[in-house]
Amino acid sequence: MNKLPPLNALRIFEAVARLQSFTKAAEALYLTQSAVSHQIRKLEEHFGFPLLIRGQRGIDLTPEGALLQHSVHDALQQIGQTCDQLNQRRHAIRIKSPPSIAVRWLVPHLQGFKQQFPDLDISVSTVWEEKPVFDWGLFDLAIQYGNGDWPGVTVERLHQERLIPVAAPALLRGRSGLTPDELGTLTLIHSTRDRRDWRLWLELGAAEWPRGQKELLFDADVMAVEAARCGLGVALVDPFIVQDALDNGSLLAPFDRTLLTGQAYYLVRPPHERHSRRLQPLVEWLQNTI
């Protein structure tokens, strides 16, 4: 790499060229006019040719000076934008979450966090991934569903998954529960295309898969929940993400049987956190609230 000229002299040169005045540049940079002139001379000595010409009407740029001014101006703007982004990151935390947790739990509870930490901004990214990817350039923390066996990251279990059937009151027609035979007459809503969760739940009760069972398939819990709320069938979901609906009666739990899947929701962090103090309020809030 070629030797760069003094960076402070470049900054001063850009101000003089942009304002077309030594005096105005000195005022803008809180320097004396002699200090500004000294830095311009140093810059011209570095290159070995003049960059500015003082005329009766002010300052003119030589062709070389115009070329340098354009380049330095763009570079300083880009540096300024980057610095603004970094300063914003001091007060913002980027978290990645499965859509179901973000929509059904995280967003409804964020007001409580904001009341405790009004100066911290939260950016939430919802991503569905069959295999998790932890890109710490895009987010600071992640809530990840799975078995927690991910090398190279710090993992802490937040919530052990358990599943129960839920349905809209209109589907139950005034009943508080269902029998296994009645379940076979309704549509089973799946949040995964392998139908694994419903099969495991039925096996808990030593029940076989009903012949001719009607089904509705989705690839995310949040869609399965909304389908159940609309009365399209019975969904198998974690009460953790539908507790508000169970509390207000828009969803009912027609069976007592609970399936522990062995999966969980984990808080995932980089192995060597450079901003652990900045992240700690959200980490502790997640640990305590969930």
Tens of pLDDT, residues 229-252: 999 999 999 999 999 999 999 999
pLDDT tens-digit readout, 124-147: 988 777 778 888 878 889 999 999
Q: What is the homologous superfamily of the domain 92-159+265-289 according to CATH? A: Periplasmic binding protein-like II (3.40.190.10)
Domain(s) of CATH 1.10.10.10: residues in the chain: 7-89
pLDDT score for 264: 95
Confidence bin at 23 (pLDDT 50/70/90): confident
Distance CA 110, CA 93 (A): 13
Q: For the chain, what is the mean pLDDT?
A: 86
pTM: 0.67
Q: Where do the H-state alpha helices sit in the chain? A: 7-19, 22-29, 33-47, 63-89, 99-101, 107-116, 169-172, 180-183, 196-204, 221-229, 243-248, 276-289
Q: What is the pLDDT of residues 72-102, one digit of tens each?
A: 888 888 887 776 665 555 557 889 999 889 9
Instruction: Note the pLDDT tens digit of each residue in 257-286.
Output: 999 999 999 999 988 765 577 788 888 999
Half-sphere exposure of 180 (CA within 13 A, CB side): 13
List all residues 6 or more positions away from 185 whose beta carbon is below 8 Å from its beta carbon. Answer: none
Confidence of residue 157 (pLDDT cuts 50, 70, 90): very high
Average pLDDT score over residue span 177-201: 87
Residue of higher predicted confidence among 46 and 56? 46
pLDDT reported for residue 273:
63
| Sequence ranges of the chain with CATH classification 3.40.190.10 | 92-159+265-289, 161-261
CATH class of 7-89: mainly alpha
The domain covering 161-261 belongs, at the CATH homologous superfamily level, to Periplasmic binding protein-like II (3.40.190.10)
